[in-house]
Amino acid sequence: MPDYMIELRNVTKRYGPIVANDHINLSIRRGELMTLLGPSGCGKTTALRCITGHNIPDEGEVWIDGKDVTNVPTHKRELGMVFQNFALFPHMTVFENVEFPLMIRGLNKAERRERVMEALRLIRMEGYEKHYPRQISGGQQQRVGLARALVYRPKVLLLDEPLSNLDAKLREEMRFEIRDLIDRLGITAVYVTHDQAEALALSDRVAVMNAGRIEQVGTPDEIYDSPKSRFVADFIGLSDFVEGTVAAVHSDQERAVIRVGGLDISICARPDISSPGEKVLLFIRPNNVELLPASHEGGQNIFSGVVHKMTYLGDRADYRIIVEDELQLRVQTDGKIRFHEGENVKVHLPIEHCRVIVE
Give contact residues for ligand ATP (rule: CB under 6 A): 15, 18, 20, 38, 40-46, 194
Listed in sequence order, the DSSP H helices in the chain are 44-52, 94-104, 109-122, 138-150, 168-185, 196-202, 220-225, 230-235
Nearer to ligand ATP, 82 or 284 (CB): 82
Q: Which is nearer to ligand ATP, 195 or 324 (CB)?
A: 195
The least distance separating ligand ATP from the CB of residue 114, rounded to whole angstroms, comes to: 37
**Which amino acid type is present at position 11?**
V
Tell me how far, at minimum, the Cβ of 15 lies from ligand ATP, in Å.
3
Distances (CA, A) of 253 to 243, 271, 318: 21, 7, 34
Asked whether the beta carbons of 304 and 291 are under 8 A apart, the reply is: no
By beta-carbon proximity to ligand ATP, the closer residue of 19 and 117 is 19
In whole angstroms, give the CA distance from residue 157 to residue 33.
9
Q: Which is nearer to ligand ATP, 21 or 97 (CB)?
A: 21
**Shortest gap between Cβ of 152 and ligand ATP (angstroms)?**
26
Q: Kindly state the smallest distance separating residue 21's Cβ from ligand ATP, in Å.
A: 7
CB nearer ligand ATP, residue 150 or residue 163: 163
Per DSSP (E only), the strands in the chain are 4-15, 18-29, 33-37, 59-64, 67-68, 79-83, 156-160, 188-193, 205-210, 213-218, 240-249, 255-260, 263-268, 279-284, 290-293, 302-312, 317-323, 327-333, 344-348, 355-357
Question: Closest separation between CB of residue 242 and ligand ATP, Å?
Answer: 30
